[in-house]
Chain A
């Protein structure tokens, strides 16, 4: 009798071991930025309840895991933008399967053969590039192939405290904010704002920041038709157009039209506390700011919150700097199950892009951007124009994040008066060109 039991146990164990691999879920590693919020959304699978970038992406991945028991996605969250870590992971052969990469950074990894072209995989799950918006398709396409599933297009915006704008007398009869149409108007309105409210017009995160400065410069160079990256290997930034932009921001700094010593988190808090009129920040805070404006007792609830693209200050193209987020897939040997699981994950994000667009980012799919549901989201009537205005750097420009650091450092030095404007522009140009010449 005892022997029988032992035999039965042994046979059962053997069967389970054999059956094991086919029952086990396919493991995928996903690496992303957008922050960590497990305390609030760690277990949430109801995506509709989530707000903000972190909340929505966490909930989406939770839902994917819940809906697909045959696939298990484990998530590693990295500090924005996470490229130092990703580069080290690629170099040591330990890259995640799927990773968030900006469209502006795709070419760095694609040019080294580290990313998998996704055309065939996406086609196999029914996602074709003609479904993408033009901005998303162009951003994700390198050398004629798709190297990342675009999930949005983003840009910088004017986030406006309407209560302070009303106090400053900068509101039209229809209740919309009065925005400047030239650098001179901007300075005049900022002065008027300061006089009437006693507060700075801008809430900017200028402390040890580079990205904001650079995006501001690119936007106003586009608006002056300055083709500063005509040659992707050689930049021209020591130009009268660039000088105009830097001098404009320097005047804003010198005349006290902006907050000065705040870092990114500090600037968000200052804007939410009503310490300035316009915060220069991205599409990603629209959802959070709107939620604040609907909460009684907050500074944004007092007179309302509005959000607009950067005003057209120059006579050139109607444009502003834009970029986008994608899911890219690392190049490595995989079983058909693993590849199929990646396809499922990408398809899930393509299907659920509307939820992602609730963050404030613009959707990467034509069907969503033209949908009534998207248009019905708050403030989309004012910011949807960004889909046409948004312009990235030419996709052949490599090391865009490193360039951003150099441009931002030099702009910061010029604006805060640590360096002469001409010297800063000359150094900016030579440092970027030195970097590009040695790739």
Chain B
């Protein structure tokens, strides 16, 4: 039905889609760089332009940096070094004076929204107020995934055609004026025609649309995202940014006609010719430069200790004895501390970190499920599916969510009966939290007793065009890739654990963001179980042997899942274990239990409801309750402490206390002299860890515009997003409760390899290289032989001399953890 738009407008629509927030519906929440549209520019330049274009705050508050400086958390020497480097030694004094004493000033007025103000100035009409409510309500009802009981009645052939059908056949209408109704019903109307009426000057169309759409970036971004990825909705809806804009323009014309009759004309004649367009270049303002220098100094103060710490590694030269067991974890920063405790309570074990889908991308089809769910990094398009069978149904009903409680007579009955039951339920949850049907538990992702179709039996057997299961060759390739990239190619222990991770929470709209990012916001249990099965596969081992990886017969793989909120673990397919390994496993489980208790205890220092000095086991019980408490907006802190990604041998960072701030990816440069696996690691690490890190960064520095604000007043819209109250725009980014304790630092990625190999690896893929060259993530190379550090800048590596002279060695870490709640510096573990 919709008319094609001219190529220039197509371009504008495309641009708009690029700049709008790219957030998926809640169920598929995946972290990404909030300002991805500026990633082609160097970090500071990009975000400063974003600030001037759209009025975002892109740095922390000035007082905050100064506070850190005076508290010694921004190093003075590093600050001098940074200013000298950027402004020259002769201007050091001048800029330092500004940094420390300049009074807070207003930022330059954003360029977006200037055109829109003209409506109010010239016609005394607040178009946003006239149009937004109706527009949001129509779009929200149209896209609704299941809240409304009476669904949008006309079929979803597209937003615009649905509205047309509705308007044509209804006595009550949204669009009232004759002219706008004609425009709506005429199949000849093009978007240009509407813009001609509203703007009148073709050169300003683009600016007008940016102004219009950035008055409600949440809904526009959602529509733009769904246009390109309709599969993100279970109940499919056809929608496009063009339709949304078309509808909004019509509603605007209608509002103007109703309010002003014939007494209005297009904006063109009111636009001062000197009014800048949105993307017109301007000088970076001094106040933003002051912020950027502070930011650099803040970051390098932390990086400096980390680099010093990594240089102090004293990995034993000789290969050790056979380890007691080996355990693979996700690269996730939350696994940083649990690995430290496992190693502490079982010193002769080895732990590894790698992306938590364990190098097998596929879709998972749970039994009874009507849909498939992707369990690998979001950009990957799997060609395999693993189906589950023999599982029991794993979800309960709760009448409180039923539509009967919203009716007349049903609700009349329910409120007088179940209403009293509700009172008891609230009281129970407040005093003794327990599992409810409303909660999300990572252990429900897969039924451990169910069967998985991991092996491909008939290659022609297809499920929605995907191959069911993996062939032996494919399985061998996956496992080989996994083992070689983490450097586990010999000296296998009797037991090799593969631990996925997931999270539990209740009353949490952003639950998907708490699960494994490498599994597209799902728990990693199926992947872990599948790769363990592959590792135990005889034929696969035979193939691997020919490729130089010999897995001894007595070695067995065990898949498992670590719930990071409750700190519980679950292990799969234990019946295949031989007797000897069964005993060893029973022994290891005890180690894990203790490690989990201590991990919970360490996490509790950030939880205000728990006394961290209590006994670890007792604290652990409280942490478990917390995950099921309706009143707890922070079931866990998720990635809130992330700041670092270390790629290298665990032996070379095992001596450091990194306070859950590090993504740890195991990698042995000796196995990979050409950097082939390194490339694969960095290709994933930069966008995944970088994306997580920058989403936290921007949600922290501008929680109102780039984050979702406080989650306490959030209202769920159509199951796809949250807004404040009834009439608001969708809120994108992270809620305040996820970032309270976050320090906005860009992530530092350190790699243990030779500089030229690293350079080669990152340069071989333009999209990956962009992250590094434009400094959206920072890169430091630790030379494997000399331990010299080199930082990456402008396409080259430069030698870095840390300011930090020594790293404090801690013997009483437990006491420090019990008595502090802030981010801790790097320590040497005793």
* B and A form one assembly: no
By a beta-carbon cutoff of 8 Å, the part of chain A in contact with chain B is none
